Amino acid sequence: MVLSNKVIVVTGGASGIGYECVKAYIGEGARVAVLDVQRETMERLSAKPGNADLYLPCDVSDETQVKTAIAQVERHYGRIDCIHNNAGIAAPAKPLHETTVGEWQALMQVNVFSIYLTTRCGLAALQQSKGCILNTSSMVGRIGQANHAVYTATKGAVDALTKSMALDYATYGIRVNAVAPAGVWTPLLREWAAEQPDTADIETYLDGIHPLGYCPEADVIADACVFLVSEKARFITGCILPVGGGAELGYKR
């Protein structure tokens, strides 16, 4: 098992890509702590055998809550080997001028500011373990997306942060990478699909943007994440790894 006895913190790990990563990490021998705002979901998951043994309710955009949660993880496990910054929101589906100040702030706080908080609070532990940081980005951070200006801006920021963090923390032996999916069937994407005016055609559209021919479930992202946080990727840092079935290559027609 490539993650045997590694301690991994996953933000937004109660559903979607985060939950698939939690399961994959545990399957490879890791001990996982989940930080998420979905308290009821985490309570249900904690009752199931084989899931993470530490579920911490945490708003990752709140400094006090993040500081408290990271300290709890360190007390519980005695170390941290990896922080996977996966928590994110995508709504609303609007152009920039229609986005409210509150919506702008929420997207920036959850998708970008949270990475600052977990890094500040967890860096000392990662220095001791010579661990790694993994950020969940998105292909739209590179190419843009209509009616999602602020969301795409946050993912562009994640990409830039990942590269600069990789340079800053290499001196400590800490690797920093990001995974960049295209479409992935998660609760977040299903919510987005329901908001679109052409919901009947959205599944065909999502299949079509991936040259491999289908929009995947989140387990394909989790497999890539296992690699990036493992010693198999020990000489990889600053990488924004596209996992989009070739979507990053361009449209098929």
Structure tokens at 50: 């084989």
Which structural domain range is residue 113 located in? 7-185+218-235
Q: Is residue 140 part of a domain?
A: yes
Q: Is residue 213 part of a domain?
A: no
Domain count, the chain: 1
Q: Is residue 83 part of a domain?
A: yes
Q: Is residue 192 part of a domain?
A: no
Q: Is residue 202 part of a domain?
A: no
Q: How many CB atoms lie within 10 A of CB 152?
A: 20
- Quick one: pLDDT band at residue 252, thresholds 50, 70, 90? low
Q: Is residue 250 part of a domain?
A: no
**What is the residue-wise DSSP string for 24-58?**
HHHHTT-EEEEEES-HHHHHHHHTSTTS-SEEEE-
Q: How many CB atoms lie within 10 A of CB 62?
A: 16
Comparing 43-52, 146-155, 190-199, 243-252, the range with the smallest average pLDDT is 190-199
Q: Is residue 191 part of a domain?
A: no
pLDDT of the residue at 48: 86
Domain at 46, CATH number: 3.40.50.720
The b/e string for 75-111 (b: 16+ C-beta within 10 A; e otherwise) is eebebbbbbbbbbbbbebbeeeeebeeebeebbbbbb
pLDDT digits (tens, 9 = 90+) for 101-137: 999 999 999 999 999 999 999 999 999 999 999 999 9
Q: Is 66 helix (H, G, I), strand (E, B) or coil?
A: helix
- Quick one: pLDDT band at residue 70, thresholds 50, 70, 90? very high
Q: Is residue 208 part of a domain?
A: no
Query: Is 151 a known active-site residue?
Result: yes
Structure tokens at 55: 């579920």
Statement: residue 248 has pLDDT above 80: yes
* Active-site option among 25, 55, 77, 151: 151
